[in-house]
Structure 1
Amino acid sequence: MIVTIDGPAGSGKSSAARQLAKRLGFLFLDTGSMYRAVALAGHQQQVDWQTPGELARIAANCRIELTDDRVLLNDQDVTEQIRTVEITRLTKYAADNPEVRKTLVETQRRFADGQNVVAEGRDQATVVFPQAECKIFLTADETVRAQRRYLDLVSRGERVSLDSVLKHQRQRDQQDEERPIGGLRKATDSIEIKTCGMSPAEVVERLEALVRERMTTDH
């Protein structure tokens, strides 16, 4: 069974999807981390960001592994590195690159082949797994999302202001919505859940109830 969880930055989808996968005993596919890892690899190799072919070659040749709560890039743990403000800013070059996206979508589909998976991202229900049995779209007001991101960055030792986080989030939202391929879209058969006013535990409980109901209906 494939469960997709899509939504904008700061909607709480990453932590909710990870916890949901643990509760269900499913694999967790964090697709955003894959694009971040490619951006980090490009940064490490001092890629020319204006030459898409260079980053595409890096994506085709690097090895990304998702294990438990860690992200490995060519056998190196980059879980914290890919979450910095700088790599977040550069990730658009990976996400907007058609060849990078093609490579990673193929990797994501291989990861899920024959498995029970919770896949989280922007285009999981619309592009990567349109056949998914349960599609969920998480969202929240922009101020709530910015506050979550701000607290996350501060906890990682980043020096940022809430205003700068909100400004950057608005730019990301616009980029995500306008992206010609793999942009942020709600699938027509996705269930939308607004997470404003809900605790992380309440979000996971709601998701688990939805998935278990779908599992019962499908069998």
Structure 2
Amino acid sequence: MDNISIALDGPAGAGKSTIAKIIAKRKNLTYIDTGAMYRAIALKILREGIDIDKEESIQKVLSASSIDLEGNDIFLDGQLVTEEIRTPKVNNFVSHVARIPLVRMKMVELQRSIAANKNVIMDGRDIGTYVIPNATYKFYLTASIEERAKRRFIELRDKGFDTTIEIVKEEIKNRDKIDIEREFAPLRKAEDAIEIDTTGKSIEDVVEEILNYMK
């Protein structure tokens, strides 16, 4: 029997990771948090003060890094970084790192190797278009910029970060622009993906909508 794979794409704040985790639990799938993988590399580059325009430096970082996913936790070189990769500093830097072709090729290689042997749900920006284009199911989650900014603001506030909804909104706009305009595997909806606008919907509403499509 072929493995089941679910691709969940969409912009920042659309609810992808939260919904993916719930579906993974209900359907007994392996959840691959691709965003966390890029965040982990971005964190390492920030820590080491590496110039992202220098290809040789980026290659060295990729060659000397290990990224492991265990449940909802992510480990960078053996160190738990689940919380640290969600800071505003990493939020504002990750799209710059994720658009580097060397980084994307390395991450996609890891993601595909996991998906090849397991039943998976994977969320990101280019899952259905590039990472696993032959996914069993493809969904594209979106929401208004106001809704996405509100969600991210609440998330950051609850973690104790001092920011405003206006600042978060601008940060999301910038991330959208970088993700959409990057040359290599940009953010876009796959032609065969089902689009779901999550604006004004509860997490449970969206989960049920996706599960109903899968039936």
TM-score class, shorter-chain normalisation, is over 0.9
Give 1:106's aligned amino acid.
Answer: E
Q: 4+ residue runs of structure 1 moved beyond 6 angstroms?
A: none
1:216 maps to: none
Cα RMSD, aligned residues only: 1.0
- 1:155-166 equivalences under 5 Å are 155-166=158-169
The CA distance in 1 between the partners of 2:189 and 2:178, in whole Å, is 15
Matched, 1:154 2:157: yes
* Structure 2 residue runs without a partner (length 5+): none
1:128 maps to: 131
- 1:80-99 equivalences under 5 Å are 80-99=83-102
Q: Which moved more, 1:60-69 or 1:79-88?
A: 60-69
2:56 maps to: 53
Give 1:146's aligned amino acid.
Answer: A
The CA distance in 2 between the partners of 1:111 and 1:60, in whole Å, is 19
Count residues with an aligned counterpart. Answer: 212
1:145 maps to: 148
The CA distance in 1 between the partners of 2:117 and 2:77, in whole Å, is 25
The CA distance in 2 between the partners of 1:176 and 1:10, in whole Å, is 13
1:71 maps to: 74
Matched, 1:28 2:31: yes
2:122 maps to: 119
The CA distance in 2 between the partners of 1:48 and 1:180, in whole Å, is 20
List per-residue Cα deviations over 1:163-204 (Å, max 9, x = no partner). 000011111111111011121110000000011121111111
Give 1:54's aligned amino acid.
Answer: S
The CA distance in 2 between the partners of 1:114 and 1:48, in whole Å, is 35
Do the aligned partners of 2:20 and 2:123 also contact (CA within 8 Å) in 1? Answer: yes
1:190 maps to: 193
Give 1:108's aligned amino acid.
Answer: Q
Aligned to 1:53, the other structure's residue is in SS state helix
Return the offset for 1:159: 0.6
| Aligned with residue 43 of structure 2, among 40, 45, 56 | 40
* Structure 1 residue runs without a partner (length 5+): 214-219
Do the aligned partners of 2:153 and 2:163 also contact (CA within 8 Å) in 1? Answer: yes
